Amino acid sequence: MKYIILIVTALVTSNAFAQETLFENIRSKGENPVYIEFEGVRVLSDGEQSVGLSAQRVGKYDEPQEVIVKILNHEGIDSGIAIIDKDGNGESGSEIIEDYTKGSQTFTGFPNTYIAYDKRSNDGYVAVGNYLFYIRNFSSRTEFRDISKVYVLKGTAPNGEKYKTKKKKKGFGKFLDKVKDKAVNGNMGPDPRKMSEYKAISKENVRQLITDYLKAMRAKQEIYTLTAKNKADLAKLDEAGAAYQKWVKNKNDAYWKSPAGQKTLRGWKLADNHKASCRLTADTCTSPFH
């Protein structure tokens, strides 16, 4: 079982961000940039900021996952992002897709997109500086509750510090490093708090950073007028999303009409009928066969 360990750091205000769109920001990092994933950011009741770290047990941290971020495209239009776990020099296959053409996403501020927003779950992705944030529970275009994930561009260092690239050792040198690590840290494993990327995000006033960005982009949106091309591009994305949702509905309808689907429906009906007369409560009755 994994536990989330919150490391408390002091809040540091930073206004160093550019008013780039989500896609401009990611594209400026090069093709398929690599980020380090951390377990979100909270502000505690005493006002201090905490950056989450994943651990197998108290004091033993998991090594943060590296991910590749890709911009998705539909007929020449930026249509979303893919966040894919990195495994060595390649991709491991585990991925998150936020794609307008799947019908549930929308782009706040299009074409100056600043939130890739999911209408069903009320969450979305925002990119500011060297950070990509997964935000949940938006109450408006500029207000939100939870920062559930933060992805820090690999190689990011706190302001005023130089990023140090570690050379991978082989053979006996690698063995000596393992012996040294065990002597210093025991069996505790890696300490992500020492990572340059972790130090960088910890020194930011993260909620203020995001809020300032959202307000600036919202002001930009309010004075922007969609061009004919913008409207045509939106129509293409909407058409693709509607087509995908229709395909999903047709697949679902076909399943429920099939023998397998009908068998599932009969099983559900049997369970419902049983629970209506069961001596146990609806919450404690877990099977119609008792």
Confidence of residue 12 (pLDDT cuts 50, 70, 90): very low
109 lies in some domain = yes
Q: Phi, psi at residue 226, to the nearest 5°?
A: -65, 135
Name the average pLDDT for the chain. Answer: 83
The answer to pTM > 0.85 is no
- In which domain, by residue range, is 22 found? 3-222
Q: Are residues 127 and 263 in the same domain?
A: no
Q: Are residues 210 and 286 in the same domain?
A: no
Confidence of residue 91 (pLDDT cuts 50, 70, 90): confident
Rounded to whole angstroms, the Cα distance separating 152 from 166 reads: 18
Q: Are residues 147 and 269 in the same domain?
A: no
182 lies in some domain = yes
Q: Which residue has the higher pLDDT, 119 or 170?
A: 119
The tens digit of pLDDT for each residue in 39-55 reads 989 887 787 888 888 87
Q: Please tell me the predicted confidence (pLDDT) of residue 92.
A: 76
241 lies in some domain = no
Residue 3 · residue 117 · CB < 8 Å: no
Q: Does pLDDT of 107 surpass 50? A: yes
Q: Does pLDDT of 60 surpass 70? A: yes
Specify which of 23-27, 164-168, 184-188 reaches the highest per-range mean pLDDT.
23-27
Rounded to whole angstroms, the Cα distance separating 87 from 95 reads: 12
The tens digit of pLDDT for each residue in 236-262 reads 999 999 999 999 999 999 999 999 999
Q: What is the mean pLDDT of residues 130-135?
A: 96
Q: Please tell me the predicted confidence (pLDDT) of residue 286.
A: 67
Q: Are residues 85 and 168 in the same domain?
A: yes
Rounded to whole angstroms, the Cα distance separating 68 from 35 reads: 6
Q: Are residues 10 and 89 in the same domain?
A: yes
228 lies in some domain = no
Q: Does pLDDT of 14 surpass 80? A: no
230 lies in some domain = no
Q: Please tell me the predicted confidence (pLDDT) of residue 5.
A: 39
Q: Are residues 191 and 98 in the same domain?
A: yes
Q: Nearest-CA neighbor of 201 among 64, 20, 88?
A: 64
Q: Are residues 213 and 264 in the same domain?
A: no
The tens digit of pLDDT for each residue in 139-155 reads 999 999 999 999 999 99
Q: Are residues 271 and 136 in the same domain?
A: no
Q: Are residues 151 and 289 in the same domain?
A: no
Q: What is the DSSP string of 58-103?
A: TTEEPPPPEEEEEEEEETTEEEEEEEEEEETTEEEEEEEEEEGGGS
Q: Please tell me the predicted confidence (pLDDT) of residue 46.
A: 80
The tens digit of pLDDT for each residue in 177-188 reads 555 555 555 555
Q: Are residues 196 and 283 in the same domain?
A: no
Q: What is the mean pLDDT of residues 94-113?
A: 92
Say what the alpha-carbon torsion angle 273, 274, 276, 278 is, to the nearest 10 degrees.
170
Q: Which residue has the higher pLDDT, 157 or 91?
A: 157
How distant is the alpha carbon of residue 152 from its chain centre? 11
- Helix (H) / strand (E) element for 106: namely strand 105-108
Tell me how many domains the chain contains: 2
Per-residue b or e along 19-38, where b marks 16 or more CB atoms closer than 10 Å to that residue's CB: ebbbbebbeebeeebebbbb
Q: Which residue has the higher pLDDT, 218 or 17?
A: 218
